C-alpha cells in the first residue's frame, strides 16, 4: 500500500509567533494519527522556477488514506482553527509511489 504525505509550503510568515498555538496542536494531532515529520523548516530552502524559498513541511503517513483521515480528524480541525486570520499556505496530500 502506498504511503501518504502532507506537503505544506508557507509563501510568507510575517509573524511566526502567531503560529505557536497551531503548531502545538498540529504536532499532537499528527503524532496521534501516526504521522512522522520528515522535514520542517525554512532556514535551508532553495526555490527554483516558481518555488518559494520559505518554510516547507513534509509529513509521512503509512497510507494515503491515513493521511486524508488525519487531515479530517477532530484534533487537526482544532489546530486549524488556531491559524491566524489572513494566513496563507499551500497544503496538499499526495500518494507516494508503490
pLDDT tens for 34-45 read: 999 999 876 777
Q: Please report which helix (H) or strand (E) contains residue 76, including its range.
A: helix 74-80
pLDDT at 83 over 80: yes
Q: pTM of the predicted model, to two decimals?
A: 0.88
**Between 1 and 58, residue with greater pLDDT:** 58
Cβ–Cβ < 8 Å for 60, 3: yes
pLDDT at 28 over 70: yes
Helices (H), the chain: 20-32, 64-72, 74-80
d(C-alpha 33, C-alpha 35), whole Å: 6
Average pLDDT along the chain: 90
Average pLDDT of the residues in 24-40: 96
Q: Which domains does the chain have, with CATH numbers?
A: 4-95 (3.30.70.100)
Residue 80 neighbours by CB under 8 Å, 6+ apart: 22
Question: 82: closest CA among 12, 9, 4, 29?
Answer: 29
pLDDT in tens, 41-64: 767 778 788 777 778 899 999 999
Amino acid at each position: 500500500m502506498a504511503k501518504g504525505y502532507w506537503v505544506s509550503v508557507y509563501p510568507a510568515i510575517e509573524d511566526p509567533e502567531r503560529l505557536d498555538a497551531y503548531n502545538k496542536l498540529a504536532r499532537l494531532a499528527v503524532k496521534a494519527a501516526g504521522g512522522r515529520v520528515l522535514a520542517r523548516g525554512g532556514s535551508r530552502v532553495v526555490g527554483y522556477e516558481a518555488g518559494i524559498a520559505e518554510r516547507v513541511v513534509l509529513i509521512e503517513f503509512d497510507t494515503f488514506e491515513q493521511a486524508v483521515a488525519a487531515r479530517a480528524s477532530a484534533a487537526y480541525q482544532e489546530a486549524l482553527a488556531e491559524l491566524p486570520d489572513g494566513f496563507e499556505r499551500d497544503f496538499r496530500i499526495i500518494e507516494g509511489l508503490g
